[in-house]
Amino acid sequence: MSIDIKRVRNDFPELARLVHDKPLIYLDNAASTLKCLPVINALHLHYTQEAANIHRGVHFLSEQGTMKYEETRDTAREFINAKHRHEIIFTRGTTESINLVAHSYALEFLNEGDEILVSTMEHHSNIVPWQMAAQRKGATVREIPINDDGEILIEEYKKLLSEKTKIVATCHISNSLGTINPINEMISMAHDVGAIFVVDAAQSIAHEKIDVQALDCDFLAFSSHKMFGPTGFGVLYGKEELLNKMPPYQGGGDMIDVVTIEKTTYNDLPHKFEAGTPHIAGGIALKYAFDYINALGFENILSHEKMLLDYATTEILKIDGVKIIGEAKKKASVLSFTMEGAHPHDLGTLLDRQGIAIRTGHHCTQPLMKRMNVPATARASFSVYNTLEDVDIFIQGLKKTKEFL
């Protein structure tokens, strides 16, 4: 089976709109994907018919909301093949998921002299929380270097690993380069020295089939808005035995068992880590994003996106002065580039005038930009609803922009 692209595009109403009087060509999927109708409909239904707080009331709407919200947890468990539903912690997104581990796990278990390894290509969300924890505990954050193509240097990683290494945190797929990292191998190497491994799956969740039990990762973080779901919602997967020994991250409603003024006992997993009223509508609607991806099938998604990336790569290299940043052998549908004589920001602005949305800048990966010797890149990122025609319009747009500049 392959993707019925016309049907898929009809599921994303935003694709039908104009931007600056031109049909929208949306190539900023690594920043956030567009939303599919089942997700939009679920949000609409919740806010028009079913709004109520969850986990609290005994009335119909509260119980219905609780059931639907918890259904998403079951779907998420299945989607990443977690062993238990209580290993799925709902958060505001990848950033909060990583902060939760850094503030709860790292602050509890790190000691002076310990080391945390992160790679050069990490998003700031997977660097800064570790620095914050390391500073407080007298630990050090060390860098796993990459080569000029944007691939992790496994031999260097091996050399960095020691009994001092307590946490390794890397992205599965780089948002700036598209590199698919060999996390399988990296996780088992980390475990060999007794370190835990945190996977930032923000960019991979909608592009690669993830099986947390097969990977044997200790934590895995992702955001709903990068997989056709609502913003402000995300998941932290953690192994039960680790989550159980971690202290709560935030205090408040829902995460408690018994509270007295002197002392509190905490709720069981997953609620121990879910203080306060969550983004209920977002959580309920996320289920429909999981279902949508499951119905498309990862094989179909991957082959469609690979076709787009291969075609775009071939065509963009025909333009004089274009340099691709990130040429890993294993790459997801991200095309970062620079163009001689053009600042990426100007490229982005001039493409926007033609209805073409790409992202420009450092993509929240400043150490990576420094390593690749560029201040910024222009980045086109593809999703399952993009077409070869989108790529043609993008390439034509780039050529026009080049002439203009």
Beta bridge partners of 89: 236
The end-to-end CA distance of the chain, in Å, is: 43
Rounded to whole angstroms, what are the CA distances from 42 to 13, 37, 68, 296, 383?
Answer: 15, 8, 10, 19, 22
Q: List the interface residues with ligand C6P, window 90-129 (CB under 6 A).
A: 93-95, 123, 125-126
Whether 171 is catalytic is no
Q: Minimum Å distance from CB 103 to ligand C6P?
A: 15
* Phi, psi at 230, each rounded to 5°: -70, 155
Q: Minimum Å distance from CB 91 to ligand C6P?
A: 9
Among 5, 24, 31, 302, binds ligand C6P (CB under 6 A): 31
Question: 343 is written with which tokens?
Answer: 């600042």
* 363 lies in the site for ligand C6P, by CB under 6 A: yes
* 203 lies in the site for ligand C6P, by CB under 6 A: yes
Question: 205 is written with which tokens?
Answer: 């969740």
Nearest CA among 37, 46, 32 for reference residue 280? 46
Residue closer to ligand C6P by CB (options 95, 387) is 95
Shortest-Cβ-distance residue relative to ligand C6P: 175
Binding mask 132-171 for ligand C6P (x = CB under 6 A): ---------------------------------------x
Beta-sheet strand order (sheet of 88-91): 88-91, 234-238, 219-223, 196-200, 165-171, 115-119, 140-144
Q: List the interface residues with ligand C6P, window 285-344 (CB under 6 A).
A: none
Residue closer to ligand C6P by CB (options 94, 338) is 94
Residue closer to ligand C6P by CB (options 170, 267) is 170
Residue closer to ligand C6P by CB (options 75, 126) is 126
Nearest CA among 353, 350, 354 for reference residue 392? 354
CB of 186 closer than 8 Å to CB of 170:
yes
Q: What are the residues binding ligand C6P (CB under 6 A)?
A: 30-31, 93-95, 123, 125-126, 171, 175, 200, 202-203, 223, 359, 363-364
Q: Among all residues, which ones are annotated catalytic?
A: 364
